[in-house]
Amino acid sequence: MREGVATFVSVISRLFRGAAAGETAAEPQVSRVTRHSNGLGELSRGLRRLDGMRVLDLGPTSPQNISFFTGIGHRIHNEDVLLAARDPGLLTTAPTGQAVPDVTRFLAENLLYEAEFFDAVLCWDLADYLHADLVKPLVGRIHRILRPQGLLLGFFHTRDAGPNAPHHRYHISGDDTLELQCIPLSAPRQQSLRYYSYLPLQRVFNNRHIENLFHDFSSIKFFLGRDHMREVLVVR
C-alpha cells in the first residue's frame, strides 16, 4: 500500500502532468476562508482515542492534512478521486450516444485497498461534483475498505448554495477548523495550465438522498453549517 509521502509525490505529479514543456505548473494563488466544522471535530475526537489508525483523504493533496494526521499518530493515504474521474480516457459511449465514465474501469484503477483497511475516510464534498454514475459505486467501494465502526466525513451543499458554488480544497488547521481554498482545475489537457475553469456543482442532495446513499452503513449524523453546507458523519 502507498504510504502518505509516496502518495503525495504521486498525486502532485498527476496534477501537473498536463503542463506544456518548459512551463512552470504553478497553482494560482487563492485566498483561504476559515470554517468551523462540527463534523471534523467529532471525527477528530474519535481518532485521538487510539494510535496507528489509517485515514484516507479523497480530496486534492494537502500537506496540512498529512501533518495533522501524522502528528496525532496516524497514517494517511491520499487519492484525488475527482481528478481521476475527470480523465478523458475514462469515458465510454452509452447506448444513448452520450459520453459517460466507464464505472468498471474506474473501480479497477482507483481505491485498490484491502477490505476493512481504513479507520476513517474524508470525502469532503466529492459527491456533489462527481459524475452521477460514479457516486453510488464509489460509496460501495468505501463501504468495503472501511472497517466496521469506521468513520466517514462528507460535506453536501444545500440548495441555497446555488449552481455556481465553487469547488474547494479542504485544509485541516485544527481539530474542528478547516481552511477552504477555492481551487481552479486545469482546462482540457491540450491547453496550457495558464487557463483555468471552475468545476461546476453537479447536483444537490437532500437529507433523504444522503440517507439512501449511505443505507448500508450503521448510522449517520447531520450537522447543518451556516454557509449552505450540510456535514454528515457516517459510521460503517
For residues 166-174, give the mean pLDDT.
90
Give the per-residue pLDDT at 30.
Answer: 62
Element holding 186 (H helix, E strand): strand 185-186
194-222: pLDDT as tens digits: 333 457 888 899 999 999 999 999 999 99
d(C-alpha 151, C-alpha 40), whole Å: 11
Give the per-residue pLDDT at 226.
Answer: 75
Proportion of the chain above pLDDT 70, given as a percent: 81
12-68: pLDDT as tens digits: 334 433 333 333 344 445 678 899 999 999 999 999 988 899 999 999 889 999 999
Give the per-residue pLDDT at 4.
Answer: 43
Phi/psi for 145 (5° steps) reads: -90, -5
Give the per-residue pLDDT at 190.
Answer: 37
Give the per-residue pLDDT at 224.
Answer: 83
127-153: pLDDT as tens digits: 999 999 999 999 999 999 999 999 999
In this prediction the pTM is 0.80
DSSP secondary structure string for all residues of 125-147: THHHHS-HHHHHHHHHHHHHHEE
d(C-alpha 50, C-alpha 47), whole Å: 6
Per-residue confidence band for 184, with pLDDT thresholds at 50, 70 and 90: low
Domain range list for the chain = 4-11+28-235
73-107: pLDDT as tens digits: 999 999 999 989 988 899 998 888 888 999 999 99
Q: Which CATH number fits domain 4-11+28-235: 2.115.10.20, 3.40.50.150, 1.10.3720.10, 3.30.1360.200?
A: 3.40.50.150
CB–CB of 180/168 below 8 Å? yes
pLDDT at 121 over 80: yes
Give the per-residue pLDDT at 201.
Answer: 85
Which is higher by pLDDT, 165 or 56?
Answer: 56
Which residue is listed with cell 480516457?
89
